[in-house]
Amino acid sequence: MDGGLPPITLILGGQRSGKSRLAETLIEDAAGGGLYLATAEARDGEMTDRIAAHRARRGPDWETVEEPLDILEQIVEHAAPDRPILVDCLTLWLSNVMAAGRDPGRAVEDLAAGLEGLAGPVVFVSNEVGLGVIPANALARAFADAAGIANQRLAQRADRVLFTAAGLPMVLKGRPL
């Protein structure tokens, strides 16, 4: 993989598709490590285990900041040319936004607008939730719709967009890996 990172990268994929590992690899290849902006909250044992697995996979060259809602503030504060930021993940952030009663469309627009002129590269990870069965309840359908719109908006803003399936990346936008 080429070692340079564009200003904004978006990595999409399904659950367990390899998207987080790909994001980590891109940042490690470019800078040895970076800032991991975690949006997940350990609300149950299963999520606690997932978070622990992600932490164990990263080496000492990673700093972790946990922020479930106000990710743009953290991105702006920590952006630096020599330390890329990995935001993992946008769909968990979006579910946090919705659970907090905030407008997901406004939050996504504010995020996309706030990425202009950052001091360093950012890699976003997001689930592509629209490839499966249509959810059976209104809340789940609203979330899937909001996630799809968020992914489209960030893909428009991104310099590079990758899709992962079975651990294999495909370039949807931007230069090849």
Q: How far apart are CA 82 and CA 121, in angstroms?
A: 9
Amino acid at 76: V
Q: Which residues on neighbouring strands pair with residue 29, listed in sequence order?
A: none
Cβ density class 108-131: b for 16+ within 10 Å, e for less: beebbeebeebebbbbbbbbbbee
Q: What single-letter DSSP state applies at residue 49?
A: H
Other CB atoms within a 10 A radius of the CB of residue 4 amount to 10
Q: Which one of 20, 27, 33, 54 is the catalytic residue?
A: 54
Longest CA–CA span in the chain (Å) reads 45
Residue in 117, 155, 123, 126 with CA at minimum distance from that of residue 5: 123
Active site residue 54: yes
Are 14 and 128 contacting, i.e. CB atoms less than 8 angstroms apart? yes
Q: What single-letter DSSP state applies at residue 9?
A: E
Residue positions annotated with a catalytic role? 54
